[in-house]
């Protein structure tokens, strides 16, 4: 469970009508320009944007802001074994505006860490298991002054946050496609809960729509 000393987490995603955040071939092109503008606006309001390694490998995003003036924020990547390419956009694109933090486990060799530190990447270790311990990570980030995070996926990282009830708010864009496919990534992947009553419940705080897109905002129940 989440204590007081954790960052506020906003999960943000664009998904198809059937809840997919990319096609089975990994096509992520779900948002239209209006949606990107809204997401970039949201990025101006947080201390950090967080994604999983899968999103870096598949999309190689810059995680920057195109439409607004701003002073930057941290880009945080969860990559247990520190294996994303060192020339990924999150490392080489504007590190002076968007410093990058990569969160790893205790098991990564020092030499590997040094290579990334030479590129001005900050490394944070959390957990001794096979994956980054997200609960412990939340306290570490909070202690480092990161109080508000936009969690931008993908589906497997979203599950880790939902499983541990760490998501405070959700902003979803539903785009007008049904793409199907059991191998297409859903908003939340992972093992899932057996019962509704065991899963975190959210309350609808806002609904908006324009052309064929619906924007939903949810907040966690008290």
Ligand X SMILES: NC(=O)c1ccc[n+]([C@@H]2O[C@H](COP(=O)([O-])OP(=O)(O)OC[C@H]3O[C@@H](n4cnc5c(N)ncnc54)[C@H](OP(=O)(O)O)[C@@H]3O)[C@@H](O)[C@H]2O)c1
Query: Going edge to edge, which strands form the sheet with 213-220?
Result: 122-125, 100-104, 74-78, 48-52, 148-151, 8-16, 169-175, 213-220, 202-210
Q: How far is the CB of 215 from ligand X (least distance, A)?
A: 13
Signed CA dihedral, 15, 150, 124, 140: sign only: negative
Within residues 134-163, the interface with ligand X by CB under 6 A covers 134, 152-157, 160
CB-neighbour burial class of residue 160 (10 A; exposed 0-12, middle 13-18, buried 19+): buried
Our finding on whether 54 is near ligand X (CB under 6 A) is: yes
Q: Which is nearer to ligand X, 54 or 168 (CB)?
A: 54
Give the integer Cα–Cα distance in Å for 211 and 26: 25
Residue nearer to ligand X on the CB measure, 168 or 170? 170
CA geometry: angle 214, 208, 20, nearest 5 deg: 25
Distance between CA atoms of residues 209 and 182, nearest Å: 28
47 versus 135: smaller Cβ distance to ligand X: 135
186 binds ligand X (CB under 6 A): no
Contacting ligand X within 1-40 (CB under 6 A)? 13-14, 21-22, 26, 28, 30
Query: What is the C-alpha separation between 30 and 72, in angstroms, rounded?
Result: 25
Residue 51 in the binding site for ligand X (CB under 6 A): yes
Kindly state whether residue 169 participates in binding ligand X, applying the rule CB under 6 A: no
By C-beta, is 182 or 222 nearer to ligand X? Answer: 182
Q: What is the per-residue binding string for ligand X in 57-96, x denoting contact by CB under 6 A?
A: -xx------------------xxxx---------------
132 contributes a contact to ligand X by CB under 6 A: yes
Distance CA 61, CA 187 (A): 18
**Contact positions vs ligand X (CB under 6 A):** 13-14, 21-22, 26, 28, 30, 51-55, 58-59, 78-81, 131-132, 134, 152-157, 160, 185, 189
């Amino acid at each position: 469970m989440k204590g007081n000393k954790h960052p506020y987490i906003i999960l943000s995603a664009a998904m198809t009508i059937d809840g997919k955040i990319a096609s089975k071939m990994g096509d992520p092109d779900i948002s239209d320009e209006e949606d990107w503008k809204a997401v970039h606006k949201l990025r101006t309001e947080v201390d950090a944007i967080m994604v999983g390694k899968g999103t870096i490998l598949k999309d190689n995003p810059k995680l920057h802001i195109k439409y607004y003036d701003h002073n930057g924020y941290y880009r945080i990547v969860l990559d247990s074994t520190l294996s994303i390419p060192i020339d990924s956009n999150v490392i080489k694109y504007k590190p002076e505006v968007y410093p990058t933090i990569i969160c790893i486990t205790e098991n990564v060799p020092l030499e590997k860490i040094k290579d990334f530190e030479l590129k001005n990447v900050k490394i944070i270790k959390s957990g001794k298991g096979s994956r980054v311990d997200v609960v412990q990570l939340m306290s570490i980030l909070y202690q480092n002054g990161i109080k508000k995070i936009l969690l931008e996926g993908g589906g497997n990282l979203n599950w880790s946050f939902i499983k541990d009830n760490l998501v405070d708010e959700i902003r979803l864009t539903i785009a007008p496609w049904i793409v199907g496919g059991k191998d297409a990534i859903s908003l939340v992947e992972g093992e899932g809960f057996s019962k509704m009553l065991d899963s975190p419940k959210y309350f609808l705080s806002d609904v908006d729509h324009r052309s064929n897109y619906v924007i939903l905002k949810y907040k966690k129940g008290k």
